[in-house]
Structure 1
């Protein structure tokens, strides 16, 4: 555990780590007894209550929460505002810097902390390896931020089993801006595997009111009656909304206009 910092002002590195955790934590679970908050508090030498409070302060600067009248702390500092504004359109850099800082505090190599990312040891050091690590870190951040915002449940069916859920891009990854869109949680939906595939191929979409729209091209696709009734029963139903990072209207418009098969 780091030295006790009770009463000491938060610095830039600590605030970056708190913001990264804020993005990956359901708003309703930002509390002192959350294990992830407790773990970060121990790493920083601060109390869990102080970390939770800092995350609430950062939430104060989230304009989408304000629009929904979600109550957050109103005592964010100038540093909180600076960090929020610096990274709210550069999610990939936020996730990467946070993991670099975490690795440094733990005295570990960043590649040792990354699970299920393939063999990075065989990749020679250099710009390519750094970019590869950034991509992997960003992908992990995107998945955690999206799934946790939706409470680890499919936004169509309510299925709550992380192993069966996918953080789906609304605007496809390959045409998204690397800095502002690819790892932006507002460019994500939490979907089960079937609806993820249908969404990816343009057989379903959501409209600007977050209602499910099903392509006419699915009407004559062979399937048993129970499956068909189940699939079509969700048409025009509003998706289960996340507690933060609402799907971006620009991303939805792109999916409607470019991906969806009418």
Structure 2
């Protein structure tokens, strides 16, 4: 392993990307994602974990939950934190591209960060000429947001606790199409099953200031349909489930979502 060396801006860009895909309690040297990243950066897992802890000390979302990171954040850490979060529309795609390069991912491959397995590359299947391709910047942003939000909810739907990753969606509280500055903000995301994501997107469900599930009048009018009863009414009033070291959804964003929900 290489001797101790100063962190570069490029390395911190990658680290900030992965930082938002881990919860605070996962930022330790035995965590598979930390180990994978350390090997790729030719650093020790302990040094990567410590730097993640330094970054955590700069995170206002963790401070809201009474969580403190490690002291000793450098001036460059502070500068990179401000640059990253001040221009998410530019820095997130750049950081996702840097992570993909580090992992030697092909242009159509998927880089996933399921925290129990570490970072891994899923090779893209052969595609025909009719395959739709998103602009690279948008795709990179989506990939980052999906991993960060799903991992913030410990890989489970916040309503049902469904834990099948392929059936989970990082739902935007404030829509992607109308709130450009919040598109990649983890606090603008909920991890929901595909069914509950569709209902949330259409304002058929929402959450109150205590993050308890609300059902719209339109959805309640479909009772006692079995599917509505079992998938929605059974969870009404239940608090959205997140780990204690997760970043909480922004309640102001949720209040804005409820404005349209109240009309349904």
Give the TM-score taking structure 2 as reference length.
0.83
Evaluate the alpha carbon distance shift between residue 13 and residue 157 of structure 1 in structure 2; reply closer, same or farther with a 3 A threshold.
Answer: same
Contact 1:214/1:235 (CA < 8 Å) preserved in 2? Answer: yes
Contact 1:217/1:261 (CA < 8 Å) preserved in 2? Answer: no
Any idea what SS the aligned residue of 2:214 has? strand
**Residue of structure 2 aligned with 1:14, choices 7, 11, 28:** 11
Q: How many residues align?
A: 250
Shift of 1:28: 2.0
Evaluate the alpha carbon distance shift between residue 159 and residue 120 of structure 1 in structure 2; reply closer, same or farther with a 3 A threshold.
Answer: same
Contact 2:222/2:228 (CA < 8 Å) preserved in 1? Answer: no
**Residue of structure 1 aligned with 2:66, choices 46, 64, 69:** 69
Residue of structure 2 in register with 1:250 after alignment: 252
Residue of structure 1 in register with 2:193 after alignment: 192
Rounded to whole Å, the distance in 1 between the matches of 2:262 and 2:128 is 37
Shift of 1:62: 0.7
Q: How does 1:81-100 map to 2 (within 5 A)?
A: 81-100=78-97
Shift of 1:245: 2.9
* Alignment RMSD (CA, Å): 2.8
Shift of 1:38: 1.6
Contact 2:29/2:46 (CA < 8 Å) preserved in 1? Answer: yes
Rounded to whole Å, the distance in 2 between the matches of 1:51 and 1:193 is 34
Unaligned runs of 5+ in 1: 123-128
Evaluate the alpha carbon distance shift between residue 103 and residue 120 of structure 1 in structure 2; reply closer, same or farther with a 3 A threshold.
Answer: farther
Give the TM-score taking structure 1 as reference length.
0.84
Evaluate the alpha carbon distance shift between residue 90 and residue 208 of structure 1 in structure 2; reply closer, same or farther with a 3 A threshold.
Answer: farther
Rounded to whole Å, the distance in 1 between the matches of 2:202 and 2:149 is 20
1:111 aligns with 2:107: yes
